[in-house]
A = this chain, B = another copy of it.
């Protein structure tokens, strides 16, 4: 068994530098690597390119890095819910590459799977297709999208074992397994770290081979963005 455990967050982040490309898991604030983001937001690294479906909110998630202007470029699919983000984008301080959510997911998976490019119908005929190769399949026009990879991928799982195997919970899974595949160094943080052998090998979502470092996060706030409830009758 190859042991992936690192003792602390500092060792987990060893080697991160300015101007690197990071992938950051999560959808909205659900399933984001809270501990890694927090630690990164305290480092003096700037000029980052971040690949993440969302950009957090003003005071949580990637919003923390945006506030300190650590991010030079965002590659995302949806970036509402963040006023500072909008300000930086409209003023031109922040470079933004918006891509369809499914293409983002598939491009991360492709990056991890050694598929350099693939055709998808998403975005054909729109701004997203500008400069991209177009080809017809089954009577429908498709565009060629390329793989995405990153120097570091930061992901968050529910449980993990010392071999780096990960299990996610609910919709907190989202982009995490795909980004785990695509990071040159993938750093996984988990709510509960167990010994190898304790997880059912049939029930692992991300095989440990995709994870280079794993640690148990100190605490998880798990903030809810849109609390919606119904009342009992």
Contacts and interface: CB of A to CB of B under 8 A. Distances in A.
Contacts of A137: 116-117, 146
A106 B115 contact: yes
Contacts of A168: 202
A178 interface: no
A120 interface: yes
18 contacts: A106-B113, A106-B115, A110-B118, A114-B120, A114-B121, A115-B118, A115-B119, A115-B120, A116-B138, A117-B118, A117-B119, A117-B135, A117-B137, A118-B119, A167-B202, A169-B202, A170-B202, A203-B203
A110 B117 CA distance: 12
Interface of A: 106, 110, 113-121, 135, 137-138, 142, 146, 167-170, 202-203
If over half of A's interface residues share one DSSP class (helix, strand or loop), that class is named, otherwise mixed; here it is mixed
Contacts of A142: 116
Contacts of A106: 113, 115
Nearest to A120: B115
Nearest to A113: B106
Contacts of A110: 118
A116 B116 contact: no
Contact of A116 (B113, B119, B169, B203): B119
Given A116-B138, A117-B135, A117-B137, 12 more contacts: A106-B113, A106-B115, A110-B118, A114-B120, A114-B121, A115-B118, A115-B120, A117-B118, A118-B118, A137-B146, A168-B202, A169-B202
Nearest to A146: B137
Nearest to A122: B114
Nearest to A173: B202
A141 to B, nearest CB: 11
Most buried by B among A116, A120, A121, A170: A116
Nearest to A115: B118
Nearest to A116: B137
